[in-house]
Amino acid sequence: MSRIQLTYSTAAVLNALGNGPRYGFDIINATGLPSGTIYPMLRRLQRSGIVTSRWEEAADAHRRQRPQRKYYTLTAKGETALADALQRFPALAGAALPDGVPNPR
Amino acid sequence: MTSGHRPSPLLAACVALIRVVGHTLPKVERTDWVMEWSAEMRGEWLDLEERGQLTLLKRVALARRSLGAVVDAAHFWIEALLMTLFDFRTALRAPLRDLRTTIVVVLTLALSIGANTALFSVIYNVLLRPLAYPEANRLVMIWDQPMDDPEITSVISPRNFEDWHEQNSSFEHLAAFNLWAVTFDFRGELQRVPGIIATGEYFQALQVQPILGRVFTPEDNRSGAEAVVVISHGLWQRQFGGDSSIVGRAVPTSRSGVTVIGVMPPGFRDPGGFFFATPDVWGTFRRDFLGENRRSHWMRTVARLKPEVTFEQAQADMTAIAARLAEAYPESNTGQTVKVVPLHEQVVGDVRLELWILTGAVALVLLIACANVANLMLSRAVSRNQEFAVRTALGAARTRIVGQLLAENVVLALIGGAGGVALAHWGARALIGLAPDLPRAETVVLNAPVLVFALTVTIATGVVFGLAPALQAGGVDLHAALKAGGRGSEGHDRRRLRSTLIVSEVALSLLLLIGAGLLTKSFLELRGTDPGFDESNVLTLRLNLSRGESATDALRAVVERVEQLPDVEYAGAVSSLPIRGLNNVGLGWTINGLETPLTESLNSFYREITPDYFSAMRIPTLSGRTFSDMDRDGAPPVAVVNDEFVRRYMNGEDPIGKQVSSSFAAPFTAEIVGVVRGVQYHNLETPPDPEVYVPHAQLHFLGVMFLAVRTAGDPLAPATAIRGTLRELYPNMVVDEVATMEQLVATSVARPRFNMLLTGIFSITALLLAGVGLYAVLAYSVTRRVHEVGIRMALGASGRSVQRMIVLDGMKLVVVGGALGLGAAFALTRVLQSLLFNVAVTDPATFVIVPAVVIAVAALASYLPARRAAALDPNTALRQE
Per-residue pLDDT tens digits for B41-60: 999 998 888 888 888 898 99
Question: Residue B478: pLDDT band by 50, 70, 90 thresholds?
Answer: low
Chain-chain contact of A25 with B1 (C-beta, under 8 angstroms)? no
| B720: number of Cβ within 10 Å | 10
Residue B698: what residue type?
Q
Average pLDDT over residues A16-33: 89
Query: Which residues touch B286 (CB under 8 Å, ≥6 apart)?
Result: B221, B222, B223, B224, B225
Least confident of A83-87, B96-100, B158-162: B96-100
Beta bridge partner(s), residue B667: B663
Chain-chain contact of A69 with B43 (C-beta, under 8 angstroms)? yes
Question: Residue A51: pLDDT band by 50, 70, 90 thresholds?
Answer: very high
| Helix or strand holding residue B638 (H, E) | strand B638-642
| B491: number of Cβ within 10 Å | 16
Residue B502 has pLDDT above 60, yes or no: yes
A49 touches chain B (CB under 8 A): no
Cβ neighbours of B70 in A, within 8 Å:
36
Of A39, A40, A68, the CB nearest to B39: A68
Question: Residue A103: pLDDT band by 50, 70, 90 thresholds?
Answer: very low
Average pLDDT over residues B459-469: 78
Least confident of B92-96, B224-228, B842-846: B92-96
Residue B426 has pLDDT above 50, yes or no: yes
Q: Are B805 and B872 in contact (CB under 8 A)?
A: no
Q: Give the separation between CA B839 and CA B354, rounded to whole angstroms.
A: 17
Q: Which is nearest to B191 in space by CA: B243, B250, B249, B253?
A: B253
Beta bridge partner(s), residue B181: B194
Residue B187 has pLDDT above 70, yes or no: yes
Residue B83: what residue type?
M
Q: Which residue has the higher pLDDT, B664 or B640?
A: B640
pLDDT number for residue B407:
79
- Alpha helices (H) along B538-697: 550-563, 613-617, 643-649
Determine phi and psi for B594, rounding to 5 degrees. Answer: -120, 130
Closest residue of chain A to B68, computed from CA coordinates: A36
Chain-chain contact of A43 with B67 (C-beta, under 8 angstroms)? no
Cβ neighbours of B66 in A, within 8 Å:
35
Average pLDDT over residues B490-508: 82
pLDDT number for residue B598:
45
Residue B600 has pLDDT above 60, yes or no: no
Average pLDDT over residues B641-669: 88
Average pLDDT over residues B78-92: 74
Question: Residue B569: pLDDT band by 50, 70, 90 thresholds?
Answer: very high
Q: Which residue has the higher pLDDT, A61 or B295?
A: A61
The per-residue pLDDT of chain B, averaged, comes to 85
A23 touches chain B (CB under 8 A): yes
Of B1, B40, B70, the CB nearest to A24: B40
pLDDT number for residue B275:
54
The percent of residues above 90 in pLDDT, for chain B, comes to: 30
Q: Which residue has the higher pLDDT, B488 or B226?
A: B226
Average pLDDT over residues B743-761: 86
pLDDT number for residue B852:
93
Q: Give the separation between CA B398 and CA B389, rounded to whole angstroms.
A: 10
Residue B316 has pLDDT above 90, yes or no: yes
Q: Give the separation between CA A12 and CA A35, rounded to whole angstroms.
A: 14
| Helix or strand holding residue B817 (H, E) | helix B799-828
B65 touches chain A (CB under 8 A): yes
pLDDT number for residue B510:
92
pLDDT number for residue B692:
94
Helix (H, G, I), strand (E, B) or coil at B818: helix
A70 touches chain B (CB under 8 A): yes
Residue A3 has pLDDT above 60, yes or no: no
Of A23, A24, A67, the CB nearest to B42: A67
Q: Give the separation between CA B33 and CA B505, rounded to whole angstroms.
A: 51
Q: Give the separation between CA B179 and CA B189, rounded to whole angstroms.
A: 23
Q: Give the separation between CA B770 and CA B502, rounded to whole angstroms.
A: 7
Q: Give the separation between CA B96 and CA B806, rounded to whole angstroms.
A: 31
Q: Give the separation between CA B820 and CA B836, rounded to whole angstroms.
A: 23
The length of chain B in residues reads 881
pLDDT number for residue B486:
43
pLDDT number for residue B821:
93
> What single string gives the DSSP state of each residue in chain A?
-PPPP--HHHHHHHHHHTTS-EEHHHHHHHH---HHHHHHHHHHHHHTTSEEEEEPPHHHHHHTTS---EEEEE-HHHHHHHHHHHHH-THHHH---TT------
Q: Are B795 and B880 in contact (CB under 8 A)?
A: no
Which pTM was predicted?
Answer: 0.69
B47 touches chain A (CB under 8 A): yes
Question: Residue B627: pLDDT band by 50, 70, 90 thresholds?
Answer: very high
Q: Which residue has the higher pLDDT, B611 or B651?
A: B611
pLDDT number for residue B291:
63
Q: How far is CA B576 from the centre of its chain?
A: 30
The per-residue pLDDT of chain A, averaged, comes to 82
Of B2, B42, B65, the CB nearest to A35: B65
Question: Residue B732: pLDDT band by 50, 70, 90 thresholds?
Answer: confident
pLDDT number for residue B334:
85
Chain-chain contact of A66 with B71 (C-beta, under 8 angstroms)? no
pLDDT number for residue B302:
92
Query: Which residues touch B234 (CB under 8 Å, ≥6 apart)?
Result: B266, B278, B280
Residue A33 CA: distances (Å) to CA of A38, A40, B45: 7, 12, 19
Least confident of B94-108, B263-277, B560-574, B726-740: B263-277
Cβ neighbours of A37 in B, within 8 Å:
68, 71
Chain-chain contact of A23 with B43 (C-beta, under 8 angstroms)? yes
pLDDT number for residue B628:
93
B747-767: buried (b, 16+ CB within 10 Å) or exposed (e) per residue? bbbebbbbbbbbbbbbbebbb
Residue A102 has pLDDT above 70, yes or no: no
| Helix or strand holding residue B82 (H, E) | helix B56-97
Q: Give the pairing type, strands B257-263 and B228-231.
A: parallel
Least confident of B326-340, B433-447, B650-664: B433-447
Average pLDDT over residues B178-201: 84
Residue B538 has pLDDT above 90, yes or no: yes
Chain-chain contact of A66 with B36 (C-beta, under 8 angstroms)? no
B26 touches chain A (CB under 8 A): no
Average pLDDT over residues B173-188: 86
Write a three-state SS string for B685-737: CCCCCCEEEEECCCCCCCCEEEEEEEECCCCCCCHHHHHHHHHHHCCCCEEEE
Question: Residue B548: pLDDT band by 50, 70, 90 thresholds?
Answer: low
Of A23, A28, A40, the CB nearest to B65: A28
Residue B554 has pLDDT above 90, yes or no: no
